[in-house]
Amino acid sequence: MAVLPTRLDARSAEFRANAAAMQVLLDEVIAQQHQATIAGGERYIERHRERDKMLVRERLELLVDRDTPLLELHALAAWGTGDPVGAGNVNAVGIINGVECFVNGTDMTVKGGASNPSTVTKSLRGMEIALANRLPYISLTESAGADLPRQAEIFVPGGASFKQLTRMSAAGIPTISIVFGPSTAGGAYNPGMSDYVVMIKDRSKVFLGGPPLVKMAIDEDADEEELGGAEMHARVSGLADYLAVDELDALRIGRDIVGHLNWRKRGPGPTMPADAPVHDPAELLGAAPADVRKPIDVREIIARIVDGSRFEEFKGAYGTQLVTGWASLCGFPIGIIANNGILFSEESQKGSQFIQLCNRIDTPILFIQNITGFMVGTRYEQGGIIKDGAKLINAVSNSTVPHLTLMVGASYGAGNYGMSGKAYDPRFIFTWPNHRIAVMGPKQLAGVMNIITKGRDPEAVAALEAQVEAESTALFATGRMWDDGIIDPRDTRTVLGLALSAVHTNEVKGTSSFGVFRM
């Protein structure tokens, strides 16, 4: 397999300008990540510690195996929504007793662990990932329940989390709930729906209705311990399967449970040499222009993430604005579909064919998105660009091999769909800090509006352009959980490697069953 050449010059002014611009964006992401870890505020963190409790990320660190990688997802969920950055909980893929697991943990310092709408969305996405990839699911539970003033936004969709828990269980994916504190009402169903429940003496309090609600409902003066204490659940109700003496003990038990699962991954695992890329992944910082309208050769990115920078290009001379080909990443064979410009009919057909080939050979697909959309214009409409775009969306939608999506620049228009955007259920989807996402580019959108409104309201158009500009940033997108997180471009290979490893926990199986390809 050929080693990709490079024309990237890390000493060039252009590269350095790109890297500097990317660093500025990255610094903001890092600052926001830090904010997410202390979103509860000093006072509540202090109070939490005074109660001799660990912060959720400290619990997570003790749960996973030492020195193994830990991939936190949706770290900046709720950014820009008004809800606390991070959404008051933590999602992560980590390795526990040698088993890749999905961990969801409540951050009790954020509004007492009460759920806001972002919390619900984040939890549900986590369960989706666990279910799709067959990752044992572990909840570090501690919650006051729903944030009551927000109940209208939470109550109905929130119910899905209990459905998902039992569906995971039905699918044979172990669900483990470790209860660190109060877990009331809806929260009580988290342990209730889990395969394994660990409670902590004098700490876990699990009840459908707490003492105030019981007083209201049946005028009973209930004792908290009697009503839902860990010892009661361990000895009387049977809801607790394990009674831990403290947090450390609970985490130890959680690890022991995973240890006994006899968990076997269903995918074939890595089969290729996992040598590092020939070209330095650190150069990814300056590989993409900060201005997404400037073109880049996506092969420069591929060359810095795949094993040995080796890439077997498929249909290299045809539909050249879409790069397709074979490679391996951290030893996992993959097909790559990457934008190198806008999508024409040829590119769409090429992509559709390539997706079918990947399905025939059970190979996961990495989509690298840098797309401003499908080509428009009379010539292309007459050439059937809609039919060809439909072919690509058909192939993407019905493909059953795992999709990983990486957003390295623009993601505008139907190109987002054809390239396995969020709505097309990629197993994992990550973005670079320079990522832009919208129905179309803000300037283009403003221009369109100007034409439609015949230039009558330039102020409104300018306001719309500014709004779309603000709503198309990587932070805005990740805040709405349109992706699984913003990553440092230099970490791309590691992140995708971990994602592929997680993906291989489930069967990696293609299909030959697609919708009707319109000819």
The separation between the first and the last C-alpha atoms of the chain, rounded to the nearest angstrom, is: 34
By CB atoms closer than 10 A (0-12, 13-18, 19+), residue 13 is exposed
Residue among 158, 479, 497, 510 that touches another protein (CB under 8 A): 497
- Which lies closer to another protein via its Cβ, residue 153 or residue 246? 246
Only segment of 339-347, 407-415, 457-465, 486-494 that touches another protein (CB under 8 A): 486-494
Amino acid at 290: A
Residues 254-283 that bind another protein (CB under 8 A): 255, 269, 274
> Which residue's CB is nearer to another protein, number 407 or number 446?
407
Q: Is 236 helix (H, G, I), strand (E, B) or coil?
A: helix
Phi, psi of 325 (to 5 degrees): 170, 180
CA 247/CA 252 separation, integer angstroms: 9
Mapped onto helix, strand or coil, the DSSP state of residue 39 is coil
Determine, following the binding rule CB under 8 A, whether residue 251 of this chain makes contact with another protein. Answer: yes
Q: Which of 248, 451, 452, 470 is the binder for another protein (CB under 8 A)?
A: 248
Q: Which of these ranges, 248-256, 310-318, 390-398, 455-463, lies near another protein under the rule CB under 8 A?
A: 248-256
Burial of 286 (0-12, 13-18, 19+ CB in 10 A): buried
Q: What is the DSSP letter of 355?
A: H
Element of type H or E holding 350: helix 345-360
Tokens 């410009």, residue?
A: 341
Residue tagged 């805005």 (tokens): 476
Measured from the CB atom, the residue of 34 and 51 that comes closer to another protein is 34
The site for another protein, by CB under 8 A, has a size of: 38
Minimum separation from the CB atom of position 360 to another protein (A)? 27
Instruction: Convert residues 143-162 into a mask of x (bound to another protein by CB under 8 A) and - (unbound).
Output: --------------------
Q: Which is nearer to another protein, 137 or 332 (CB)?
A: 332
Q: Is 37 in the site for another protein (CB under 8 A)?
A: yes
Site membership for another protein, residue 61 (CB under 8 A): yes
What's the closest the beta carbon of residue 62 comes to another protein, in angstroms? 6
Position among 7, 11, 43, 66 found at the interface with another protein (CB under 8 A): 66
User: Does 313 sit near another protein (CB under 8 A)?
Assistant: no
The Cα 450–Cα 317 span in angstroms is 39
- Give which of 471, 432, 372, 407 is closest to 22, Cα–Cα: 432
Sole window of 54-62, 143-151, 190-198, 352-360 interacting with another protein (rule: CB under 8 A): 54-62
Q: Which of 485, 499, 503, 510 binds another protein (CB under 8 A)?
A: 485
Sole binder of another protein in the list 128, 153, 231, 249 (CB under 8 A): 249
Regarding 201 and contact with another protein (CB under 8 A), the answer is no
**Is the Cβ of residue 95 or residue 336 nearer to another protein in the bound state?**
95
> Alpha-carbon distance 189 to 115, whole Å?
14
CA-to-CA dists, residue 307 to 312, 437, 490, angstroms: 12, 29, 15
Find the binding residues for another protein in span 9-28 (CB under 8 A). Answer: none
Token duo for residue 513? 């069953």
Closest distance to another protein from the beta carbon of 24 (Å): 17
Question: CA 117, 39, 472, 488 torsion: positive or negative?
Answer: negative
Among 2, 20, 34, 457, binds another protein (CB under 8 A): 34
**Does 30 interact with another protein (rule: CB under 8 A)?**
yes
CB of 152 to another protein, least distance (A): 32
Is 82 buried (19+), middle (13-18) or exposed (0-12) by CB count in 10 A? exposed
Containing 338, the helix (H) or strand (E) segment is: strand 332-339
Instruction: State yes or no: residue 167 binds another protein (CB under 8 A).
Output: no
Measured between alpha carbons, how far is 229 from 207 in angstroms, rounded to an integer?
Answer: 8
How many beta carbons lie within 10 A of that of residue 393, not counting itself? 20
Among 95, 338, 406, 408, contact with another protein (rule: CB under 8 A)? 95
* Bridge partners of residue 310, in order along the sequence: 3
Binding-residue pattern over the window 323 to 362 for another protein, x denoting contact by CB under 8 A: -------xx-------------------------------
- Residue 377 CB, shortest distance to another protein, in Å, is 42
Under the criterion CB under 8 A, does residue 199 sit at the interface with another protein?
no
Bridge-based pairing of strands 89-96 and 99-106 is: antiparallel
* 425 φ/ψ sector (left φ>0, alpha ψ -120 to 50, else beta): left
Which pair of structure tokens corresponds to residue 48? 């939490």
Site membership for another protein, residue 33 (CB under 8 A): yes
- Of the candidate residues 85, 404, 498, 508, the single one contacting another protein (CB under 8 A): 498
- Least distance (Å) between residue 107 CB and another protein: 13
CB of 68 to another protein, least distance (A): 6
Beta bridge partners of 102: 93, 137
Which CB sits closer to another protein, 177 or 501? 501
Per CB under 8 A, 501 contacts another protein: yes
CA distances from 493 to 28, 471, 479, 490 (A): 22, 28, 23, 8
> 233 is written with which tokens?
């659940």
Q: Which residues bind another protein (CB under 8 A)?
A: 30, 33-34, 37, 57, 61-62, 65-72, 75, 95, 98, 245, 248-249, 251-252, 255, 269, 274, 330-331, 485, 487-488, 491, 493-495, 497-498, 501
